Amino acid sequence: MIQVDNLVKTYGDRFAINNISFKINKGDVVGLLGPNGAGKSTTMKIITGLMSPTSGTAKVCGFDVFENPLEVKKRIGYLPENPPLYLDMTVENYLKYVTELKKVSIKECASNVESALEKTQLKDVRHRIIKNLSKGFKQRVGIAQALVSRPEILILDEPTVGLDPKQVAEIRDLINELKGQHTIILSTHILSEVQAVCNKIIIIHQGKLILDDSIENIQKLRQPQTQLNIKVRLDKDLSFEFKKISGVLSVNQVNPCSYRIQIEDDEVTTEAILEFIIQTKAGLLEMSVNENNLEDVFLSLTYNKSEEAVKI
Amino acid sequence: MRSVWIIFKKEFLGFFSSPLFFLMAFVATVLFSITFSMGIQNFATLLSNGMYQMGANPQQLNIHYAVFLQHLSLVNLLFIFFTPALAMRLLAEEKKNRSFDLLMTSPITSWQIVLSKYLSLITVLFAIEILAFIYIFFAQQMFQFDLLPTILTGTGIFLVGAVYASMSLFASSLTDNPMVAFIIGIVLNLGLWIFGGLADFTDHVAYKKIIEQISVNQHLQLMIDGIFKTSSIVFFISIIFFFCFLCERVIESSRWRST
């Protein structure tokens, strides 16, 4: 559906994106991640035809973004970082205008507008001037304009930025609802969002692609270490005994009854620790496993990389 | 063409729903009312008194020059300032509000964007000129005169306004600051007349001829005198096309620039 090959964009001497290649299949919901200034928005702008790359190619539905820009633009709904709104128009008139601009047939215009208003829960404010709406509503109008032409591909650049937690949850539900109807590319800083809605993740850092994989594979990327948080009733230092158990890498006694134990990532070690606690009648009160989640992967891939870069 | 019509319609209705157009129409009407009635009164005084007529320039005794030309010159003066003010919202303000991204990611070409916005701008200028012509049409109910030279002058002023529109739209495409676009537009519009005036400062026959041929003054003067030449129309259309082309290039280049 989307094929990006060796994409490069430079601003003078600075590389905004450097040799990025990836492929997105039909129906995928892709999370585009990266720290600020990593090149996420630039990549999105190139795919939408808003910006030209310095070199490389991008194809959408088989059409080259630069050779057939009009065909590509017909198939894409794009929400930029700042929603492209005409503040002096009403919500309904604005969506009608966008539908017509996107060359939707006259017959389908009205039904498309209705459906976009319904999906984004804007029916109550359809006759209001956009200027007078709150930020959350403006963002929803932005999402509605991306949806209104029923495009095959939806590109949403930080759709939840500036929204309150309830609105964020609503947008997440909306994206979940849109799954299957569109191929979606989503950039955000909220990693739990990505975990909740995406089936594929692309991480860009300093203009380079450092990860392109499915959510399941990324969760398998966990480092071969797990941290156990243990709380016992027995007010006695058990650190030495814990260290004796095979597979335990380090023990940190947080307070007289609580420990953070770093173990090799296998179930046998966890079982051995539990058995030891039961045998010593230490009284297990609480045990939790700190799993490597997406945030850890993201941080280890991006921030560790920048530290390495600094060292170099 | 549907895309051009859609953007044209949106911009055209946008002008008529903004206070700016009504403020301009108000200012224009007040000025037209004052200058037209004074012009008619002075002309009537001149005609009714033989003493005044003796030393008068023949053109002062012709209603076309003495009243209507003055009236339409005011339209030209207003266009110099009104056109950039109207044009600044067409591209500069869109860039500022980021709504320009919508146009750039819609399946429309840069030419369609320029053409639709340009057409909406000259339609508004036409509406302002119609305001000026209302006075002339009413004058015809009272006096007998040939309307054709005045209509030709009006066409000339409208064509000059269309040139201002192309330059102001180009100015609007250069920046995302509407105020800067407004100032650049005024400078370009005034520059057009200053450039034409340069012919008076040179004695070199060839240079003089060249400046005269490529300045609007000469071509407009021909139309004021009732001479309709195809070369004048070609000249106006060429300048309009040139600035619209530059505007299209600026829009297209925004894909390449680091915005």
Residue A245: pLDDT band with limits 50, 70, 90: confident
User: Per-residue pLDDT tens for A87-130?
Assistant: 999 999 999 999 999 988 888 899 999 999 998 888 999 999 99
* A contact residues 63-102, partner B, Cβ 8 Å cutoff: 69-71, 73-74, 76, 78, 80, 82-88, 97-98, 100-102
* Chain center to CA of A261: 31
Q: Can you tell me the ipTM of this complex? A: 0.85
**Which pLDDT score is estimated for A304?**
62
Geometric angle at alpha carbon A55, from A51 and A59, rounded to 5° = 65
Kindly tell me the burial class for residue A54, based on how many C-beta atoms sit within 10 Å of its own C-beta (0-12, 13-18, 19 or more). middle
Q: What domains can you pick out in chain A, each with its CATH number? A: 2-214 (3.40.50.300), 225-290 (3.30.70.1150)
- Interface contact A100-B2, CB threshold 8 A: yes
pLDDT digits (tens, 9 = 90+) for B8-36: 999 999 998 889 999 999 999 999 999 98
A-chain CB neighbours of B104 within 8 Å are 49-50
Quickly state the pLDDT bin for A303 (edges 50, 70, 90).
Answer: low
**Rounded CA separation B29/A255 (Å):** 84
Alpha-carbon span A142 to A144, nearest angstrom: 5
What average pLDDT is seen over chain A?
85
Q: How far is A215 from chain B (nearest CA, A)?
A: 30
Inform me whether the pLDDT recorded for A306 exceeds 70. no
Which residues, in sequence order, are bridge partners of residue A227? Answer: A262, A290
Out of B10, B105, B255, the one facing A73 most closely (by C-beta) is B105
Percent of chain A, pLDDT > 90?
A: 28
Residue A310: the pLDDT is: 39
CA distances from residue B18 to A88, A224, A246 in whole angstroms, order as listed: 9, 64, 77
